[in-house]
Amino acid sequence: MIWPWKRKSKKRMARVVIDGPINGSTRKLVLKALKQIEDREFPALLLRIDSPGGTVGDSQEIHSALLRLREKGCHVVASFGNISASGGVYVGVAAEKIIANPGTITGSIGVILRGNNLSKLLEKIGIRFETVKSGVFKDILAPDRALTTDERELLQSLIDSSYDQFVKAVAEGRNLNEETVKSFSDGRVFTGIQAKELGLVDDIGDENDARLLAAQLADLDDKIKPITLGKPKKKLMNLLPGSRIFSKLMDLIEMELSSNGQILWLFKP
pLDDT at residue 218, rounded to an integer: 97
Query: Which whole-number Å values give the CA distances from 195 to 53, 108, 223, in the listed order?
Result: 16, 11, 29
Residue 80 is which amino acid?
F
Average pLDDT over residues 78-92: 97
Catalytic site includes residue 138 = yes
Which of 125-139, 181-195, 245-259 bottoms out in mean pLDDT, i.e. has the lowest?
245-259
Average pLDDT over residues 58-73: 97
What is the Cα–Cα distance from 224 to 130, expressed in whole angstroms?
63
Is the model's pTM score more than 0.75?
Answer: yes
CB count in 10 Å sphere of residue 78: 29
pLDDT at residue 174, rounded to an integer: 98
Catalytic residue among 72, 133, 138, 231: 138
pLDDT at residue 219 is higher than 60: yes
The CATH code of the domain at 9-110+186-266 is: 3.90.226.10
Residue ranges of the domains in the chain?
Answer: 9-110+186-266
Catalytic site includes residue 108 = no
Confidence of residue 237 (pLDDT cuts 50, 70, 90): very low
Enumerate the H helices of 7-118 as residue ranges.
24-39, 56-71, 87-92
- 119 Cβ contact partners less than 8 Å away, ≥ 6 residues apart: 143, 144, 145, 146
Strands (E), 128-173: none
pLDDT at residue 241, rounded to an integer: 53
Catalytic residue among 59, 79, 86, 162: 86
What is the Cα–Cα distance from 202 to 180, expressed in whole angstroms?
16
